[in-house]
Structure 1
Amino acid sequence: MSHHPARRTVLLAGAATAALPALSLPAAAPASAAPRTAATGLRPLASYWYPDSLPDGSPGEGITWRSLKSWRAATDTDLPFNRASAPLARRFTPAPANTTARADQARIQSLVSFGPTAGNPSQGSATADYYALTHWAYIDELVFWGGSSGEGLILAPNAPVVDAAHRHGVPVLGNVFLPPAAYGGQLRWTSDLVQRDAAGHHPLAAQLVAVAAAYGFDGWFVNAETGGGDSALGAAMLGFVRELKTLAAARGQRVTWYDAMTVDGTVSWQGALNDRNQALYEAADDLFVDFRWSADSLASSARRADALGRSRYELWAGVDVESRGPDTSVDWDAIVPGGTAHTASVGLYRPEWTRGHLPAGHTPEAFHAADDRFWTGRSLDPSRPDAADPWRAPAVFAADRSTVTALPFATVFNTGHGLRWHERGEVTSDTPWNHLGLQDRLPARRWSVRTEGQRPAVAFDFADAWHGGSSLLVSGALDRPAVLDLYTTRLPLGRNTVVELTHRADAGDVRVELAVATAEPDGAGNPPPYTYLPLPAGRGDGWRTTAVRLPGRSGTVHALGIRLTATGGGPVRWRLGGLAVRERTTTPAAPVRPRVTAASGGDLRLAWDHPAPGTVRHYTVHRVLPDGTRRFLGGTGQRAYFVTGLTPAPGERAVRFEVRAVGELYTSSAAAALGHRW
């Protein structure tokens, strides 16, 4: 490894910081950060706490000091905005896209700072500049990274992140961070965390599990880095982790331990699984191995895990990409060798470099281009990786996964952020936005294209959309037919199964065929055995929706794609705005009992109920102006929403809202209307 043992990463919050070893650059707060001030006092924010006792003095502007020990769900006023709505989906592993990706070996953990500790909005914000992670297919565990001594040490993930991850089958962990003394850490906070009650139990372990259950995420990443402890504190920490794991397992939650504090209570990053941290590893589900690992230490760690009857792939070998992204120098053969079994799993620290390194004012397209390079590799096609690429992208060594297993299934290729909002091809808001909870299940293999001619460019495009903020754009010469893989699936095929595509040709004439595979490929790296079904010819310009009935009465759809053939001269620009697979069309019931739960000027908290929330993908909130115009304000998976900065229209005595439930097929319910007098 190229890391220096003395290097260290910091998250700055004024003079307060949070740290993982082995890095050195400060992480800037995302542009979407919004401090809680008098003007935004109703704005719901992601939650953060100290274990029990609070710092001396007073918190900085926009910071609220809270004690986890005192937390109660019943008095958590932001909980309706922070509670995840999407259950953790089950995923499957199809035949890998290439011959180097493995389905049952190294996994990937991703430690991501989506926003600052304080002032991180619960439900997105009015900017497209956001780390809109979309390559969930390669991730096995996401850590909601953050925490600082001046704000709070324990972070609960906000709902948009959890909903997007869960939709793709990825568990999300909150972060427990006890910083080094050099960055404001105090040993009393470690003692607070591991305290016992009169019955000998650890009340903070129970609180952590209760928070995760109430908020709907999947467990905790525990990172104890405050030095000065002794063997008594080490024993107390071990007892705490054991109880946390027992309680967490009973609720279907997980615990990952970070290689910092050792069993004797001191902080000494090992870069290995060894005698000094083995008991803590055995008490948890996984171990994040500090960046100081070497080829020898990882090999010995893997052997030790095997001897313990544990999987070596429960060890996350830390890879720091915060500073250089895919230009980071990594001894990949020590972790994921090509010729033998993988040694360990991979822990990616701060892959949001793909956004953070871009210049101010960058476009969403620029972010996704950098993110595709990071996750897919230099070839930008997981079906044909570049063997000479020094960056061993996840798509090169890890098989992708899918959660597309049940009908109905639909996507509008919404990435969870955009420059405007579209509904049925019309712009209903020209305000930039981000909200990961609105993200679709997206194609995993970005972008797998098979052609004997020039390869067209394929990308998410934010200039136009059928619904949401983005569409899929294919552009290029198309001098030969090109097949674009979209989804690996396990969808049941019945006599009435229909695939609908909403598409548009912006330039050139193109013949479109639906590619359907009802069997797996012959082996890894082979194309799906597609059958090509022509789309009915359409008339006129603009978006059009065409339906194709799938042949057969039974079986399983294993893959869906598109074959495009240019039928005229010149380049082609073709958009796919939506894809749906269904047997019948269903529409959810309307929300009920819409209400304003709090108001301050033009800031309002809205809430509603629903008779069957399991049938709802998300909700939309529109404002109805005096002339009858509907303006999109936002969407959310929660049954609560915050609107801000409203002002009266001329002659308007009361602001009027409509709340609708949106189903999996993007069908909208009737509106639940409510008003609020100015």
Structure 2
Amino acid sequence: MTIPRRTLLTTALAAGAVTALPGPAAAEEAEPEPKPLQPYASYWFPDSFPEGREPDPGATWRSLKAWRAADDPDLPFNTSTVPLDPRRRFTPTPTNPTARPDQARLSALVSFGPTARNPSQGSPTADYYALTHWAYLEELVFWGGSSGEGIVLAPNAPVVDAAHRHGVRVLGNVFLPPVAYGGSLQWTRDLVQRDALGRFPLAAKLIEVARTYGFDGWFLNGETDAAGDRQLAADLVEFVRSLRRAAPDLSITWYDAFNTEGHVGWQGALNDLNAPYFRHSRSLFVDFRWTPAKLAESAAYARRMGRSPYELMAGVDVEANGWNTREDWDAIVPATRDHVTGIGLYRPEWTLHSLPAATRTPTQFHARDDQFWTGERTDPTAPSGPGNWRPAAQYLADRSTVTTLPFATTFNTGHGEGWYEDGRRTGDSGWNQLGLQDVLPSRRWEVRTRGARPQVGFAFDAAWRGGSSVLVSGDLAAASPAELDLYRTRFQSRRAEVVLTYRQEEGSAAVEATFTDASGTVHVLPLHPQRTTNGWTTSRARLPRTDVHALGVRLSGSGGPVVWRLGALAVYEHPAAPPQPPAQVRITGRRLTGPGVAELRLRWRPVPGARHYEVHQLLVDGTRRFLGGTASAAYYLPAVRRGADGTSRTTLEVRAVSALHASSRPSPVTLSW
């Protein structure tokens, strides 16, 4: 290593070995450029770094073994705040006869962005894979990793927050890549290294990271061949066993690649070569090389181990072809007999990336995504297609987390082309932040009518609050009302109030609320309009004392086309007071990025009962501009712009928002230019 001359001089002077020569005073060194403040999702190598190469552009190599939470400046921006409560999730009676409530489950491997430079809290674009069909998922894997960036990935907080609201586990990813893709067997050895007491320090780090960041476990994908090193294979079995034993609350999924013979040999099955890893894991992702016979044998093998065959996830690769993927569905989820195994979907974000990047819109994406999950007609009561595709709604019963009151939704999908408050646009730029996503309707879209079925979908050109709303359009006759089933629920009403906010845009339709009782009977509730704000009507109805198993709306037209938009739904026994405003709001990082533009880091104290927080800029005319939101008590702002009047001070406001979407008083903080 070449030692810099400055280091040599400093060392020599300290030792008294050099006499300083007279001469002009040294010029004062320039202040170093401030580092960018953007926080990114975390990624690491287990311990050692790649040899003979530089990091990929934008990547920073980090060692998981050396990671300490106290030294991680990005941790407040990467920590999930929504806990997973699986007790709240239930399976209602399926909406079609082919959906099974207690058999196959579905896991999805999704890449939400690159390994390096994946923003911690969303970004200023609506062009994002905003996953919303959580009702069919058991588990989500935060997919990624590469030899030039890092191979251990922690999911970013917005993904975890959205998944947890819908009762879905989220796993980080450990990817030991093939040598052909830059992999090194040393990283496997690093992972299974032991300390002086025989413990696995990297297993302890994986547990610490999952618990600190607030996600639910790890997907272990070993694809670096060990050239028949059976001892290393045995060490890896012990590593998984240690991980599971030390943290039984965390979920471990093993990918069918590395086996007990010390080789990467994709089995496409559960057998003697991978069963020891599965024994200490919650589930096994069965490689795509499966056959009908192999899956049947795997199911029998799992039962002999005392395990459920639905803990085996048969891989279905949809990254390239989406619903055009040719698959032997009857080998996994036959329609006329018990399911054989579960399903592991690889890269369902095809629904976004198969659209032209330059012109695609959120509306187009969600229409396509609805077809992927509930069929060509987006009707979960009769799901099929497109083509030979078998959508999840055809074989899986949906699940719901709406079990307690209060409950509220503004149908916010977690991204948008603008931001709206009380029906008025307060943010003009695109955005994505899944941590702001509401609990969304699970059956999209179940409509009961004797007439023509209207079109239903998410729309982004107007909203009551957030970035999206539900748009219903079609011919509606008074004799054939359309009942839109929104939420399957399990709560008891003690005369709870239902509040709907909606807007009539074309034609006319009578609007009523509906609920379903425990017997399955649908009841209609007359609505009583309370107020109109910016063209939106807010109406109320009173539920009786009863068990409520579903909520929806009924629209009755008078003939002709109708366009109607639903912006919000809330149910509560008593209106709750707004939360307290955030305390100790402060700017913890500031960097000028251009004339009159700065990026900032904000922190504040968490507010009990806050669902999320919203940040605005106070404008000179007294109005405010939405800058962003987060479920965390820390937020990064990429571009705060100085006022057009050249003011020397800009006021930002942070508000806490409750479960009923009531905002606190603002807590201001001042940016001095």
TM-score (norm 1): 0.91
In the alignment, residue 291 of structure 1 is paired with which amino acid?
Answer: F
Q: How does 1:156-235 map to 2 (within 5 A)?
A: 156-229=154-227, 230-235=229-234
Distance 2:57 2:277 in 1: 37
What's the counterpart of residue 312 of structure 2? 315
Counterpart in the other structure of 1:65: 61
Superposed CA deviations along residues 101-128 of structure 1, whole A, max 9, x for unmatched, are 0010000000000000000000000100
Residue 595 of structure 2 corresponds to: none
Q: CA-to-partner distance for each residue in 1:482-505, whole Å, 9 max, x for gaps?
A: 11100000122003x100000110
> Residue 128 of structure 1 aligns with which residue?
126
User: Which residue is 2:660 aligned to?
Assistant: 665
SS at match of 2:651: strand
Q: Is the 8 A contact 2:384 2:391 kept in 1?
A: no
Quick one: which of 566, 577, 580 aligns to 2:570? 580
Q: Deviations over 1:32-80 (max 9, x none)?
A: xxxxxx8872001000000000112432331110000000111111110
Return the letter of the residue paired with 2:501. T
Instruction: Tell me, in whole angstroms, the C-alpha distance in 1 between the residues paired with 2:66 and 2:473.
Output: 56
SS class of match (1:646): strand
- Superposed, 1:380-529 pairs within 5 Å as 380-386=378-384, 390-479=388-477, 480-495=480-495, 497-521=496-520, 529=521
Q: Which residue of 2 aligns with 1:29?
A: none
Q: Secondary structure at the match of 2:76?
A: helix
Mapped to 2, the partners of 1:538 and 1:665 lie a distance apart of: 17
Q: How many angstroms apart in 2 are the aligned matches of 1:178 and 1:429?
A: 42
Structure 2 distance, partners of 1:566, 1:124, is: 40
Contact in 1 for aligned 2:506/2:563 (Cα 8 Å):
yes
Is the contact between residue 620 and residue 662 of structure 1 (CA under 8 Å) also seen in structure 2? yes
In the other structure, the counterpart of 1:626 is 620
Report the equivalent of 1:546: 539
> Compared with structure 1, are the counterparts of its residues 209 and 429 closer, same or farther at alpha carbon in structure 2 (3 Å cutoff)?
same
Matches within 5 A, 1:588-607: 588-601=579-592, 602-607=598-603
Mapped contact 2:653–2:669 kept (Cα < 8 A)? yes
Determine if contact 2:43/2:154 at 8 Å carries over to the other structure: yes
Structure 1, unpaired ranges of 5+: 1-37, 522-528
Contact 2:406 2:572 in 1 (8 A): yes
TM-score for both structures, normalised by structure 2: 0.91
**Contact in 1 for aligned 2:96/2:381 (Cα 8 Å):** yes
Query: 1:609 & 1:461 partners in 2: Cα distance?
Result: 34
How far, CA to CA, are the matches of 1:538 and 1:494 in structure 2? Answer: 22
Q: Contact (CA 8 Å) 2:384, 2:390: kept in 1 or not?
A: no
Which of 133, 138, 141 in structure 2 is aligned with 1:140? 138
Q: Distance in 2 between matches of 1:667 and 1:640?
A: 20
CA displacement, residues 249-303 of structure 1 (integer Å, 9 cap, x when unaligned): 1xx2110000000012111000000011111110211100000000000000000
| Structure 1: distance between partners of 2:568 and 2:35 | 36
Deviations 1:548-605 (A, max 9, x none): 01123xx3210011111003x4310001100000111222111100011111121110
Q: Deviations over 1:374-393 (max 9, x none)?
A: 10012310012248952111
In structure 2, distance between residues paired with 1:270 and 1:40: 47
Unmatched segments (≥5 aa) in structure 2: 1-32, 593-597
Give the CA deviation at 1:537. 5.2
Write out per-residue CA displacement over residues 451-473 of structure 1, whole angstroms, 9 at most, x where no aligned residue.
11111000001010000001101
* Cα distance between partner residues in 2 of 1:538 and 1:654: 40
Cα distance in 1 for residues equivalent to 2:47 and 2:547: 53
Q: C-alpha separation between the residues in 1 aligned to 2:620 and 2:504?
A: 37
Aligned equivalent of 1:355: 352
1:205-257 CA-partner distances (Å, limit 9, x unpaired): 000000000000000000000013410110111111111111221xx211000
Aligned CA distance change for structure 1 residues 169 and 211 (closer, same or farther; 3 Å):
same
Q: Equivalent of 2:287, from 280, 285, 290? A: 290
2: CA distance between counterparts of 1:192 and 1:167? 35
Q: Paired residues, what number?
A: 627
- 3-state SS, counterpart of residue 117 of structure 2: coil
Q: Does 1:674 align with 2:673?
A: no
* Whole-angstrom CA distance in 2 between matches of 1:61 and 1:340: 51
Superposed counterparts of 1:199-278, under 5 Å: 199-229=197-227, 230-249=229-248, 252-278=249-275
Q: Distance in 2 between matches of 1:152 and 1:653?
A: 42
The counterpart of 1:154, out of the listed 136, 152, 155, is: 152
* Alignment partners' CA distance in 2, 1:386 and 1:654: 58
For the residue of structure 1 that corresponds to 2:124, the secondary structure is coil
How far apart, CA to CA, are the structure 2 residues paired with 1:228 and 1:295? 29
Does the CA-based 8 Å contact 2:54-2:148 persist in structure 1? no
Q: Secondary structure of 1:242's match?
A: helix
1:184-225 CA-partner distances (Å, limit 9, x unpaired): 000001110111111001100000000000000000000000
Which of 79, 82, 96 is the aligned partner of 1:83? 79
- CA RMSD in angstroms, aligned pairs only: 1.5
The higher radius of gyration belongs to 2
Instruction: Look up the SS of the partner of 1:593 in the other structure.
Output: coil
Q: Which amino acid in the other structure matches residue 524 of structure 2?
A: Y
Mapped to 2, the partners of 1:493 and 1:585 lie a distance apart of: 14
C-alpha distance in 2 between matches for 1:491 and 1:412: 20
8 Å contact 1:248–1:255 — kept in the other structure? Answer: no
CA distance, structure 2, for counterparts of residue 184 and residue 65 of structure 1: 15
Aligned with residue 95 of structure 1, among 88, 93, 96? 93
Cross-structure match for 2:648: 653
1:559 paired residue number: 550
Structure 2: distance between partners of 1:626 and 1:326: 51
Report the Cα distance in structure 2 between the residues aligned to 1:455 and 1:621, rounded to whole angstroms. Answer: 40
For residues 481 and 85 of structure 1, the distance between their equivalents in structure 2, rounded to whole angstroms, comes to: 41
Is residue 2:632 matched to residue 1:638? yes
2:376, 2:385 within 8 Å by CA — same for their partners in 1? no
Offset at residue 647 of structure 1 (A): 3.1
Matched position secondary structure for 2:440: coil
**CA–CA distance in 2 between the matches of 1:170 and 1:255?**
14
Structure 1 stretch displaced more, 140-149 or 475-484: 475-484
Instruction: Report the residue type matching 2:538 in the other structure.
Output: T
| CA gap 1:43/1:157 in 2 versus in 1, 3 angstroms | same
**Aligned structure 1 segments of 4 or more residues deviating by more than 3 angstroms:** 386-389, 537-541
The code of the aligned residue for 1:641 comes to Y
- Partner Cα distance (1:558, 1:39) in 2: 55
